């Protein structure tokens, strides 16, 4: 192979400017400015925010990756832009370009840099996955990355077409259609489904776990502040997938205890009609659950929300 | 020396009578009336007969089973109708004629192999064995499928103009989303290998023919069947599960799901056959002197893509088959109560589904790497690196499928491994960028329309690729998975990558394929509108996804209405730019028909060294390749090939080289 | 010079004398003949690669569902699987068919056409018997297809195997028909004309390719037998 491209003898007339140096000179300030902007200005506002430790870890992950990606993108764009301006074809020039078939040093450098970036990202991503106990992602029924410090608050997320309900086994196993969480405490979501595959996505908490029938999919998080949470279904589950949303709140520990105790008492007659708490439910229990809901007038749907005019799914 | 013109009849296929003498050429087979020759109309008749037969058979088999409520339809009848309809379609086209002749021990005519004996439009409606005819059939077919999918996309964006005012019902919207996704991912898997691969690859490797012309033609004629079956799902209420078909939703869904499963299965078989023929042709039919190190990079791309097709698509076909048996004969592959698992579907589907993504990416890499040197007037920078990148992507793509399942609860402890493999795949993908930047260095860049599309490809794929790195990271993926972020990402790689490359390839090679120039002014308008509106459509969708809009929703948060409106309007304008392409295509190839110069781009590619459009049999004589295709500016470089090699060179070379080819 | 459309330049050196008796047509015919022989060799190996992924899909399903054993329903207690004698017989028929055909191949390589024809006919009959038996077994299942995970995989995988075997047998039939037209002497000595020699070689290449595929399917038959009847 030939020497480095900067050393290739100039094909044109006169002094050939040092293109490599020029490109770096344009690229460096752009990359630096982009990185500073991302790190200090954009990063703290990146989704999904910092309501929980998992959300915060995702935010910092996104920031770090953006900081690494920006110089790469800037380099490709600056290089290509420079080339398109400086090395464009001039009228009347029918000569071919210099016959450069490759350059070992440049290629090796490129491969080394991209490999280093990619491997460091993989290491960083793994650390960020292990560190905040699975980063809010569903970990299956035998989670290997768990939060330390005592038993977490257990919340079972039961998905069905087309609603989420939340069950609190540590409070007598009552079921609620709103998600309430205490601040500062580890939460363990046990996500399961009664029919098809859904995905429990608590946006501000940075939690996403597929709800599979017959599977207990565990995800952890720890809310850091109080605030509102929007839960949506993130896996196409049929006709009313888009409407499968619920509201949730992160409240203070005292407020949560008050809510949980009050709801527990209020729902006690209903709770005893529910199937006993298990990590997964036989779909045949759906009918039983539905009856219990209707009896208490608890669910927004109550079997009526979607209206009889809509075709039955499936 | 004089060129001896020989009839383009390089070989007889198997099964002919080797009865001691060359059979008399005799009079040409008596030309039957057009309506008695197998063509599309007999195919349609066969399809209708087959469907009715299958439907009857299904109802007969399943008469004791309860039909699905409120439908009056029976999954058995529909599936068997589709399958026998497809078989009838092929039989009507005459696909099985040669097979039946062979079974009866009768000789097989080699009439239509080297070049369709008949000329005119009629041959495009027949089971033609000429790879150039098949290429153009594929071209028209693929553009048709693409426009269908595009119209469905317009419908999606119309619905998303407002979160509260609905154009479609939720059910209709879900159908449209499913049809759009499946049409684009499934039908367009062969958008480049079908038209450009089939047409150009033999020209680029210096061959007069394909290895298995019957398989090649069959692979095309399966696509209209798959297309119609897929669309027919709309008659049964469509399918409510997108293109991914997650069980148990897909097992429980109404009869539209049968259309999805059979159509995807049929298309999977088409992909296997397409890739199979292409691999064997590239390995065995290269001209003398066409070493692996001289293979055009586009041929490398379709070779690697074909391997993905041949090895990954069987898993798809198997998965679709399991879905069909679950829906008909009541097996329980995906029903956990009965010993199955919905995870099985997710694993099988994505084991195909991820290589599928590279089936859609690699040919684009090939096209842009082919275009760059021509318009930079420089050799391709790092030819070996480009080829190695494609091979690397191919190998790695079999080991990344679980990155679609990071949140699913499947093998959570394996996630770091899949995160690593997924991020590793960006290294060979990066090679394609290294090659581009290296080729730009001190080049003489000409902004012709194909080059503009290649540059657009690089811009879009840069964004698509880098957003892919964000998705490969498990914590970041937790927020992005299942949202419009993912949607924007793969539209950047497929629409922004593959479709831009396809358009560039069309503007580049259509003068070769039809001998007709596409209007360059309209081409520039097409490029700029498509480039601007493509980015204006999909760049905001990254933000929409990050702001919390899940995929495949017909309604969304009120706060995202402005962004969604912007996207919808851009999408309509993007549709308008595709219309510019259609107008240009029709205008240039049907109305204006400006003949193109023989080699308008001054390319060194072997395919450009012969007349346009290529004569039947492609080459007068099997060419002998003398040097690589990218030796621009190399002083004293030999011409790319000797198109009139002295007598005796080929046989000498073929004996030596052929043995070597097989061993490699 | 690069990239311009010029008439193909004539070779700088004077063209070497063509070898005795070589014409353009013969040269190209032999070139593509050679390629076609290689294509048979390459194609069948590629097909085996693709088929392996297709069968692998079911083997994966087998082990995946077996390891998950959801609800204990992989192979529940009291589940009565398919008839063991039928499974063993199907496997044996395919394997013996492949062995016979292979022995026949060694004979035809030794120049004896007749023994191969007999062996191939026998192999065809055995293969068809295996297919027929498999169809019978599927029509007389002793369980509902969805009664267990094992039942699903069995009911799903065997028809696929059956169809592939049937396809291979169709190929064998065409080979038998082709062989009828080839004079036996052609397998002993070089036929007088190129056309005949090519036809014989193409038949041989097809036969070798078929043998590879058929032997492969025999291995698959053993694998499926082990999975469905031995270790179930």
The string of pLDDT tens digits covering residues B153-183 is 999 999 999 998 899 999 999 999 999 999 9
Which chains have 3 or more CB–CB distances shorter than 8 Å to chain C?
A, B
Asked if residue C151 is part of any domain, the answer here is: yes
Other C-beta atoms closer than 10 Å to the C-beta of A113 total: 13
Asked if residue C9 is part of any domain, the answer here is: no
User: Residue C143: is its pLDDT beyond 50?
Assistant: yes
User: Residue B536: is its pLDDT beyond 60?
Assistant: yes
Residue B179's nearest CA partner among B251, B247, B235 is B235
Whether cis (ω within 30° of 0) applies to the bond prior to B593 is: no
Number of domains in chain C: 1
Asked if residue C19 is part of any domain, the answer here is: no
Of B424, B473, B552, the CB nearest to A241: B552
Which chain B residue has its CA at the smallest distance from A283's CA? Answer: B337
Same domain flag for A61 and A186: no
Asked if residue C209 is part of any domain, the answer here is: yes
User: What's the gap in Å between the CA of A10 and the closest CA on chain B?
Assistant: 9
Q: At what angle do helices B449-472 and B500-514 cross, to 10 degrees?
A: 150
DSSP-derived secondary structure letter, B445: B
Same domain flag for A177 and A247: yes
Size of interface A-C (CB pairs under 8 A): 4
User: Residue C15: is its pLDDT beyond 70?
Assistant: no
Residues B354-383 have a mean pLDDT of 93
pLDDT at position C17, please? 52
User: Residue A161: is its pLDDT beyond 50?
Assistant: yes
pLDDT at position B69, please? 52
| C12 CB-near residues (< 8 Å, 6+ apart) | none
Average pLDDT, chain B: 87
Residues B432-438 have a mean pLDDT of 94
CATH number at residue C112: 1.20.120.80
Residue with tokens 């709309």: B234
Query: What kind and span of H or E run contains B106?
Result: none
Q: Please write the tens of the pLDDT for every residue from B11-58.
A: 333 333 334 444 444 555 556 677 778 889 999 999 999 999 998 898
Q: Please write the tens of the pLDDT for every residue from C52-69.
A: 999 999 999 999 999 988
pLDDT at position C166, please? 96
Among positive and negative, which fits the CA dihedral A196, A201, A202, A207?
A: positive
pLDDT at position B194, please? 93
Query: Of the ranges B196-200, B263-267, C187-191, which one carries the lowest mean pLDDT score?
Result: C187-191
Asked if residue A305 is part of any domain, the answer here is: no
Q: Which residues pair with A137 in a beta bridge?
A: A208
Number of domains in chain A: 2
pLDDT at position B14, please? 35
Average pLDDT, chain C: 87
Distance CA B418, CA B540 (A): 28
B534 touching C, CB under 8 A?
no
Distance CA B295, CA B641 (A): 12
Distance CA C22, CA C25 (A): 8
Chain C residues with CB inside 8 Å of B645's CB?
11
Q: Taking a contact as any Cβ pair under 8 Å apart, which residues of chain B between 186 and 225 contact chain C?
A: 207-209, 211-212
| Terminal C-alpha separation, chain A | 63
User: What's the gap in Å between the CA of B653 and the closest CA on chain C?
Assistant: 9
Asked if residue C53 is part of any domain, the answer here is: yes
Does domain B128-592 bear CATH number 2.40.70.10? no
Burial of residue A100 (CB within 10 Å: 0-12, 13-18, 19+) is buried
Average pLDDT, chain A: 84
- The token duo for B236 is 């049964």
pLDDT at position B652, please? 53
Comparison of pLDDT for A144 and A80, the residue scoring more: A80
Q: Give a three-class secondary structure readout of B33-68.
A: CHHHCCCHHHHHHHHHHHHHHHHHHHHHHCCCCCCC
- The token duo for C148 is 């267990």
Residue A198's nearest CA partner among A226, A163, A172 is A163
Same domain flag for A203 and A292: yes
B348 touching C, CB under 8 A?
yes
Chain C residues with CB inside 8 Å of A214's CB?
70-71
CB C169 within 8 A of CB C124: yes
CB C50 within 8 A of CB B310: yes
Q: At what angle do helices B426-440 and A53-86 cross, to 10 degrees?
A: 20
High-pLDDT (> 70) share of chain C, %: 91
Cα-based angle C154, C156, C161 (whole degrees, multiple of 5): 85
The question of ipTM being above 0.95 is answered as no
Asked if residue C116 is part of any domain, the answer here is: yes
CB A121 within 8 A of CB B471: no
Residues B578-603 have a mean pLDDT of 92
Q: Please write the tens of the pLDDT for every residue from B557-588.
A: 999 999 999 999 999 999 999 999 999 999 99
Chain A residues with CB inside 8 Å of B457's CB?
none
DSSP-derived secondary structure letter, A285: G
- Domain extent for A45: 18-86+106-132
Distance CA B423, CA B613 (A): 43
A91 touching B, CB under 8 A?
no
pLDDT at position B18, please? 39
pLDDT at position B72, please? 58
Which chain C residue has its CA at the smallest distance from B646's CA? Answer: C15
Q: Please write the tens of the pLDDT for every residue from A93-145.
A: 888 888 888 889 999 999 999 999 999 999 998 988 888 878 888 888 888 88
CB B480 within 8 A of CB B471: yes
C67 touching A, CB under 8 A?
no
| A78 CB-near residues (< 8 Å, 6+ apart) | A23, A26, A27, A30
Q: Please write the tens of the pLDDT for every residue from B268-312.
A: 999 999 999 999 999 999 999 899 999 999 999 999 999 999 999
Distance CA A211, CA A209 (A): 6
pLDDT at position A302, please? 34
Which chains have 3 or more CB–CB distances shorter than 8 Å to chain A?
B, C
Distance CA B245, CA B261 (A): 9
Q: Please write the tens of the pLDDT for every residue from B460-496.
A: 999 999 999 999 988 889 999 999 999 999 999 999 9
Asked if residue C21 is part of any domain, the answer here is: no
Residues B205-223 have a mean pLDDT of 93
Q: Please write the tens of the pLDDT for every residue from B93-126.
A: 999 988 998 898 887 766 544 444 556 788 888 8
Same domain flag for A290 and A169: yes
| B25 CB-near residues (< 8 Å, 6+ apart) | none
pLDDT at position B65, please? 62
Chain C residues with CB inside 8 Å of A96's CB?
2-3
Write b or e for each residue in A12-41: b if 16 or more Cβ atoms lie within 10 A of its Cβ, otherwise e: eeeeeeebeeebeebbeebbeebbeebeee
**Quick one: how many helices (H) and strands (E) in chain B?**
22, 2
Distance CA B453, CA B523 (A): 10
Count of CA atoms in the C-beta half-sphere (13 A) of B623 = 30
Best interface-test mutation with B: which of A236, A244, A308 has the largest number of B CBs within 10 A? A236
Highest-confidence range of B527-536, C70-79, C186-195, by mean pLDDT? B527-536
Q: Indicate yes or no: CB of C39 within 8 angstroms of CB of B654.
A: no
Distance CA B69, CA B71 (A): 5
Among positive and negative, which fits the CA dihedral A290, A295, A297, A298?
A: negative
Chain B residues with CB inside 8 Å of A55's CB?
479
* CA B194 to the chain's CA centroid: 6
Asked if residue C73 is part of any domain, the answer here is: no
Among positive and negative, which fits the CA dihedral B332, B338, B341, B344?
A: negative
Chain A residues with CB inside 8 Å of C64's CB?
none
Q: Indicate yes or no: CB of C3 within 8 angstroms of CB of B662.
A: no
CB C64 within 8 A of CB B344: yes
Distance CA B609, CA B307 (A): 29
pLDDT at position C8, please? 41
- Domain extent for C206: 43-68+83-230
pLDDT at position A308, please? 37
Q: Residue B552: pLDDT band by 50, 70, 90 thresholds?
A: very high
Comparison of pLDDT for A91 and A5, the residue scoring more: A91
Supply the pTM of this predicted model.
0.90
Name the strands in the sheet holding A227-233, side by side, starting at the edge strand that comes first in the sequence: A179-182, A245-251, A227-233, A198-202, A207-211
Q: Give a three-class secondary structure readout of B387-428.
A: HHHHHHHHHHHHHCHHHHHCCCCCCHHHHHHHHHHHHHCHHH
| B637 phi/psi in degrees, rounded to 5 | -70, 135
For residue A48, the SS3 value is coil
Distance CA A13, CA C81 (A): 84
Domain ranges of chain B: 35-108, 128-592, 622-663
Comparison of pLDDT for B254 and C108, the residue scoring more: C108
User: Residue A282: is its pLDDT beyond 70?
Assistant: yes
Q: Residue C70: pLDDT band by 50, 70, 90 thresholds?
A: confident
Best interface-test mutation with B: which of C13, C21, C26, C31 has the largest number of B CBs within 10 A? C31
Q: What is the C-alpha radius of gyration for chain B, rounded to an integer number of angstroms?
A: 25
pLDDT at position A130, please? 85
C180 touching A, CB under 8 A?
no
């Amino acid at each position: 192979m030939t020497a480095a491209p900067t050393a290739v003898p100039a094909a044109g007339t006169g002094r050939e400017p040092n293109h490599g140096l020029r490109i770096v000179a344009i690229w460096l300030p752009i990359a630096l400015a982009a990185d500073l902007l991302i790190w200090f200005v954009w990063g703290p506002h990146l989704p999904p925010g910092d309501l929980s430790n998992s959300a915060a870890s995702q935010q910092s992950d996104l920031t770090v990756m953006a900081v690494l990606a920006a110089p790469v993108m800037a380099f490709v764009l600056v290089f290509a832009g420079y080339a398109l301006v400086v090395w464009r074809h001039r009228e009347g020039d029918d000569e071919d370009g210099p016959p450069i078939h490759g350059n070992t040093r440049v290629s090796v450098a490129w491969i080394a840099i991209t490999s280093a970036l990619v491997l460091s990202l993989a290491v960083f991503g793994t650390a960020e996955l292990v560190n905040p106990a699975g980063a809010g992602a569903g970990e299956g029924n035998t989670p290997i990355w768990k939060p330390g410090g005592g038993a977490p608050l257990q919340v079972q997320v039961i998905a069905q077409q087309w609603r989420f309900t939340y069950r609190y086994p540590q409070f007598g196993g009552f079921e609620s259609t709103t998600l309430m969480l205490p601040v500062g405490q580890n939460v363990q979501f046990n996500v399961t489904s009664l029919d098809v595959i859904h995905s429990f996505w608590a946006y501000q908490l940075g939690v996403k776990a597929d709800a599979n029938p017959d599977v207990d999919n565990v995800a952890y998080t720890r809310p850091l502040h109080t605030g509102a949470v929007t839960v949506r279904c993130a896996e196409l589950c049929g006709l009313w997938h888009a409407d499968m949303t619920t509201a949730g709140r992160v409240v203070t520990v005292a407020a949560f205890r008050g809510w949980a105790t009050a709801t527990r008492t209020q729902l006690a007659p209903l709770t005893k009609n529910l199937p006993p708490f298990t990590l997964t439910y036989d779909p045949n229990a759906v009918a039983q659950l539905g009856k219990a809901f209707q009896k208490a007038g608890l669910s927004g749907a109550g079997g009526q929300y979607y209206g009889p005019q809509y075709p039955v799914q499936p | 020396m004089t060129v001896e013109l020989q009839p383009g009849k390089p070989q007889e296929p198997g099964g002919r009578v080797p009865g001691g003498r060359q059979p008399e050429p005799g009079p040409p087979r008596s030309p039957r009336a057009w309506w008695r020759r197998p063509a599309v109309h007999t195919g349609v008749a066969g399809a209708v007969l087959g469907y009715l037969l299958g439907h009857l058979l299904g109802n007969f088999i399943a008469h004791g089973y309860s039909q699905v409520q409120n439908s009056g339809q029976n999954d058995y009848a529909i599936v068997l109708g589709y399958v026998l309809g497809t078989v009838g379609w092929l039989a009507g086209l005459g696909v099985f004629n040669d097979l039946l002749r062979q079974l009866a021990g009768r000789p097989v005519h080699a009439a239509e192999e080297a070049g369709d004996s008949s000329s005119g439009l009629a041959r495009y409606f027949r089971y033609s064995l000429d790879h150039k005819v098949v290429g153009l059939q594929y071209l028209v077919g693929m553009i048709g499928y693409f426009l269908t999918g595009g119209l469905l996309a317009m419908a999606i964006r119309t619905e998303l103009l407002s979160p509260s005012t609905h154009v479609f019902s939720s059910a209709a919207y879900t159908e449209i989303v499913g049809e759009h996704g499946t049409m684009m991912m499934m039908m367009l898997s062969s958008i480049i290998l079908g038209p450009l691969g089939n047409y150009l690859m033999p020209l680029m490797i210096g061959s007069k023919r394909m290895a298995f012309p019957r398989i090649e033609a069959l692979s095309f004629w399966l696509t209209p069947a798959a297309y119609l079956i897929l669309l027919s799902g709309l008659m049964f209420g469509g399918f409510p599960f997108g293109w991914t078909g997650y069980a148990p939703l897909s097992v429980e869904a109404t009869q539209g799901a049968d259309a999805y499963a059979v159509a995807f299965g049929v298309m999977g078989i088409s992909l296997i056959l397409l890739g199979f023929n292409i691999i064997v042709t590239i390995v065995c039919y290269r001209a003398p002197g066409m070493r692996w190190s001289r293979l055009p990079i586009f041929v490398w791309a379709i070779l690697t893509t074909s391997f993905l097709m041949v090895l990954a698509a069987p898993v798809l076909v198997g998965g679709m088959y399991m879905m069909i048996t679950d829906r008909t004969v009541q097996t329980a592959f995906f029903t956990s109560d009965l010993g199955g698992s919905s995870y099985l579907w997710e694993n099988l589907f994505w084991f195909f589904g991820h290589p599928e993504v590279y089936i859609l990416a690699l040919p684009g890499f090939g096209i842009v790497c082919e275009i760059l040197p021509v318009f930079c007037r420089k050799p391709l920078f790092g030819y070996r690196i480009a080829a190695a990148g494609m091979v690397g992507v191919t190998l790695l793509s079999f080991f990344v499928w679980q990155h679609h399942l990071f949140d699913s609860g499947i093998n959570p402890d394996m996630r770091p491994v899949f995160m690593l493999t997924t991020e590793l795949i960006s290294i060979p993908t990066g090679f394609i960028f290294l090659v581009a930047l290296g080729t730009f260095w001190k080049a003489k860049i000409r902004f012709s329309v194909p080059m503009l599309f290649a540059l657009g490809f690089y811009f879009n794929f840069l964004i698509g690729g880098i957003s892919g790195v964000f998705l490969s990271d498990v914590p970041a993926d937790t927020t992005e998975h299942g949202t419009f972020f993912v949607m924007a990402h793969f539209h950047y790689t497929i629409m922004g990558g593959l479709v831009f490359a396809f358009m560039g390839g069309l503007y580049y090679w259509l003068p070769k394929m039809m001998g007709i120039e596409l209007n360059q002014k309209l081409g520039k308008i097409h490029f700029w509108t498509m480039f601007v509106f493509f980015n204006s459509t999909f760049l905001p969708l990254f933000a929409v996804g990050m702001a919390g809009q899940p995929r495949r929703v017909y309604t969304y948060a009120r706060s995202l209405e402005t962004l969604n409106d912007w996207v919808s309007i851009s999408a309509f304008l993007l549709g308008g730019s595709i219309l510019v392409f259609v107008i240009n295509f029709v205008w240039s190839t049907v109305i204006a028909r400006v003949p193109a110069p023989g080699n308008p781009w001054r390319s060194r590619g072997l395919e450009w060294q012969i007349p346009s459009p290529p004569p039947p049999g492609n080459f007068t004589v099997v060419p002998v390749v003398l040097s690589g295709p990218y030796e621009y500016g190399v002083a004293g470089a030999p011409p790319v090939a000797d198109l009139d090699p002295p007598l005796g060179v080929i046989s000498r070379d073929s004996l030596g080289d052929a043995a070597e080819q097989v061993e490699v | 010079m690069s990239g311009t459309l010029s008439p193909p330049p004539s070779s700088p050196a004077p063209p070497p004398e063509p070898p005795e008796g070589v014409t353009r047509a013969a040269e190209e015919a032999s070139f593509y003949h050679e390629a076609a022989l290689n294509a048979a060799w390459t194609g069948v190996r590629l097909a085996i690669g693709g088929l392996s992924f297709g069968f692998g899909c079911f083997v994966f399903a087998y082990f995946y569902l077996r390891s998950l054993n959801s609800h204990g329903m992989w192979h529940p207690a009291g589940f009565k699987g398919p008839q063991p004698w039928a499974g063993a017989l199907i496997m044996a028929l395919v394997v013996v068919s492949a062995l016979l055909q292979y022995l026949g191949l060694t004979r035809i390589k030794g120049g004896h056409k007749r023994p191969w024809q007999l062996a191939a006919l026998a192999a065809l009959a055995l293969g068809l018997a295996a297919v027929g038996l498999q169809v019978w077994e599927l029509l007389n299942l002793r369980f509902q297809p969805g009664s267990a995970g094992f039942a699903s995989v069995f009911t799903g995988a065997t028809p696929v195997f059956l169809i592939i075997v049937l396809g291979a047998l169709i190929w064998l039939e065409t080979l038998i028909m082709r062989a009828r037209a080839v004079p036996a002497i052609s397998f002993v000595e070089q036929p007088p004309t190129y056309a005949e020699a090519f036809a014989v070689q193409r038949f041989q290449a097809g036969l070798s390719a078929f043998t590879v595929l058929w032997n492969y399917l025999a291995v698959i038959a053993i694998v499926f037998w082990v999975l469905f009847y031995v270790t179930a």
